[in-house]
Chain A
Amino acid sequence: MSNLSLFLGCVAPNRYPGIEAATKKTFSKLGIELDDLEGASCCPAPGVFRSFDKTTWLTLASRNIALSEEMDDDLLTICNGCYSTLKEAETELKKDSGLKKEVNEKLFETGHEFRGQHDVRHVIEYLYQNIGVDGIREIVSNQLDLRVAVHYGCHLVQPLKEAGSGLVTNDITFFDELVEATGAKSIDYEDKMMCCGAGGGARAAVQDATLRITEKKLQNMIEEQVDCIVNACPFCHLQFDSGQQDINKNSGTNYEIPVLHYTQLLGLAMGFSPEELGINLNSTNTAVFIQRIKEGFVTA
């Protein structure tokens, strides 16, 4: 049994299965077999559900963590939104015994218990702290010759006081370091830390407005002539990838920046093909990018 179970969330398994496959393949290559988290649900999403009713939000979140605890695992999430929900729920329940009791009374009815003896980990935070930049560098077989626009996404780093990962300092570089461990170059661009636009239920509520935020980021990335966007969150991934198609349709533009989750970038550097990592399944056409990868955008 490994010490980690993979929490899938909604968007990765149901819209970007390449991210699920890439996570499993890259961890397997690292010698870590991720346990399936059978019967997990939506985290539930921090934007709408936390907004609406905190009890519901906390109860479902604690059920997901409890499933992982039942396997004696820490829970690994590949999504900033899920991280925000699950980490915050974990933190609140660990420090507030009254709240924990209240939630457990509901969970007992379904045969579960939140014990609070394990941790919620984000894949980027886990790789940085447990494998390390040098560890990644060692396992990489193909040096990626790519200019990358790193998109941290809000809930990997904010709110700072609750992120609790120990990685948030005045100079936030942990994600850039992991990207550069693959041989790629993390390119600085204007408003790099800005939101993708999707969070907080805004994508559902005012999609066109959120796409204006997204487009601003895309323009800033293009300014620096990047080859791709690398994110740590399937929801940001959706907003950038599917969002480019929406913007092109609405405004007659021609955005075509490939969007990769970090596990997909790492997969390329480990020698998996773009198809094995589902990079071809994006909404935005990735054919040119894939061709260039195959023609030596990587150096063995």
Chain B
Amino acid sequence: MDEMTGENININEQLKEASTNALRCMQCGVCSSSCPSGRHTSLNIRKLVKIAGRSSDILKSDELWMCTTCYNCQERCPRGIDIVDTILKIRSISAYHNIILPEHRAVCQMLLKYGHAVPINDDYKIKRTEMGLEELPETVHKYTDSLNEVKELLTSCGFERFTEDNTDENKTMENTA
């Protein structure tokens, strides 16, 4: 299935490294049976652990983003596999290869613009004053210098890569992953 391009080898190596722990999995299914999301969504955490590190298909799997990180599976895994932490690492590889849901890209854009993932709006400014609170909370919302600091730190971490939709890279992934 996978074409052995340079990009692809890179992704496979990264996935393998992120998932070494998952190789201990014996597919007992305790994870799935304790997964609240799995009971109500298509997430099958046992299958996800099985393919982690073995195929870059996992990066295209919607299920990767259905985990609520409740840690039930990780707490109960009889093999002590750090399942949620592995999921997080794989998500990070996904994000770095620009496979990002539009909803999550929007949350990243909020953080970069406002310093809050959930910023204030006019309705809630009114509700705050009705509560006897100041219109703006004592956060980056009120202090422009602080917001600029946050932006500076985000830039120094290269965070913009998650906020800009690089369609060309997306196409590359379509072809290789």
Contacts and interface: CB of A to CB of B under 8 A. Distances in A.
Interface of A: 8, 10-11, 13-15, 17-18, 20-21, 36-42, 44-56, 59-60, 63, 106-107, 109-112, 154, 158-160, 191, 194-195, 197-202, 204-206, 209-210, 212-213, 216, 276, 278, 281
Nearest to B69: A200
The 7 closest A-B pairs by CB, nearest first: A39-B146, A200-B69, A13-B137, A212-B40, A158-B71, A195-B70, A51-B91
Contact of A40 (B88, B101, B119, B140): B140
B115 to A, nearest CB: 4
Given A51-B88, A51-B95, A201 B153 contact: no
A14 B69 contact: no
Contacts of B156: 59, 106, 109
Interface string B61-91: 0100111111110110000000010001001
Given A154-B68, A159-B75, A201-B104, A213 B157 contact: no
Contact of B41 (A13, A109, A198, A206): A206
Contacts of B36: 191, 194-195, 197, 213
B177 interface: no
A53 B65 contact: no
Contact of A18 (B68, B131, B138, B140): B131
Contact of B157 (A59, A158, A199): A59
Interface string B141-170: 111011101101110111100100000000
Interface residues on B, range: 35 or more
Interface in B99-141: 100-101, 103-104, 106-108, 111, 115-121, 124, 127-128, 130-133, 137-141
B131 A281 contact: yes
B21 interface: no
| Majority secondary structure of chain B interface residues (helix, strand, loop or mixed) | helix
A42 B151 CA distance: 12
Nearest to B101: A205
Contact of B124 (A14, A202, A213, A216): A14
B68 A199 contact: yes
A48 B72 CA distance: 19
19 contacts: A14-B121, A14-B141, A20-B131, A36-B138, A38-B138, A44-B117, A47-B69, A48-B108, A52-B108, A56-B158, A106-B156, A109-B156, A154-B68, A195-B70, A200-B67, A204-B101, A206-B66, A209-B41, A213-B68
B65 A206 contact: yes
Contacts of A159: 71, 74-75, 84
B111 A17 contact: no
Given A13-B128, A59-B157, A281-B127, A20 B68 contact: no
A60 B75 CA distance: 28
A229 B141 CA distance: 30
Contacts of A191: 36
Contact of B117 (A10, A209, A213, A281): A10
B92 interface: yes
A80 to B, nearest CB: 11
A46 to B, nearest CB: 7
B145 A210 contact: no
A212 B41 contact: yes
A210 B65 CA distance: 11
A48 B106 CA distance: 11
A198 B117 contact: no
Considering residues A42, A49, A63, A159, which has the most beta carbons from chain B within 10 angstroms of its beta carbon?
A42
A41 B150 contact: yes
A60 B37 contact: no
A205 B103 CA distance: 6
A38 B150 CA distance: 13
A77 B74 CA distance: 25
A291 B58 CA distance: 52
B40 A39 contact: no
Given A17-B133, A41-B140, A204 B103 contact: yes
A253 B32 CA distance: 29
B106 to A, nearest CB: 8
Given A48-B117, A200-B69, A13 B139 contact: yes
B107 A204 contact: yes
B149 A110 contact: yes
